[in-house]
Amino acid sequence: MSAATNTALPFKGGNENPVHEDHHDAGSTTLVGFWIYLMSDCVLFSGLFATYAVLAHQFAGGPTGRELFDLQFVLVETMILLVSSVTYGMATLAMYKNNKAGVLRWLGVTFMLGAAFLVMEIYEFHHLISIDAGPGRSAFLSAFFTLVGTHGIHITSGLIWILVLTGQLLRDGLTEKNRTRVMCLSLFWHFLDIIWIGVFTLVYLLGVL
């Protein structure tokens, strides 16, 4: 009787919550994959930075960076983007506290700051083109527009991503998938801030010295 009872007892070892573990593993895999994507983006921007460094003094008789760049304007632009990185960090902290409203609020602030940065960048491009300092004017300006424009395209992608993520959070809440999405976008947004610091230093700061 005792032996029969022992054989009838259910096995309690192993993973008691396989669904949660599967979600955690999937999220970790997604983050690793996104890191690999960011490394490929690093290669892209490294090539653009190297190209700019080679062509930075190829003015072809046209205007130089010292004549074109408004450092105060770009400094304001830079501060806006850096603050947006802080506000996205606040969204991440709100996520850890399971505060959905806080995540949405800080994502909204980040979006507005990112949009302000993009508007300033578009204004700068429009101004340069209006004074005949477009990408076709010299190799220097071609490299400038390519580097800064590529960063701007990434910012645009990030803003679209924020909108999509906001919709997903409103619909589904702070699910494991949405938490992973928040973290991936965090990596992307902070990466763009780091790239912009390089742009500000190499292109604008050294360009006016």
Residue-wise pLDDT tens digits, 196-205: 999 999 999 9
Q: How far is CA 180 from CA 32, 65, 148, 183, in A?
A: 11, 41, 29, 5
In this predicted structure, the answer to whether residue 89 has a pLDDT above a threshold of 90 is: yes
What pTM, to 2 d.p., does this model score?
Answer: 0.86
Under a CB-based contact definition with an 8 Å cutoff, are residues 114 and 81 in contact?
A: yes
Q: Which domains does the chain have, with CATH numbers?
A: 27-58+70-208 (1.20.120.80)
Q: How confident is the model at residue 88 (pLDDT cuts 50, 70, 90)?
A: very high
Under a CB-based contact definition with an 8 Å cutoff, are residues 155 and 116 in contact?
A: no
Q: How far is CA 145 from CA 56, 95, 199, in A?
A: 12, 37, 11
pLDDT tens-digit readout, 104-162: 999 999 999 999 999 999 999 999 999 999 999 999 999 999 999 999 999 999 999 99
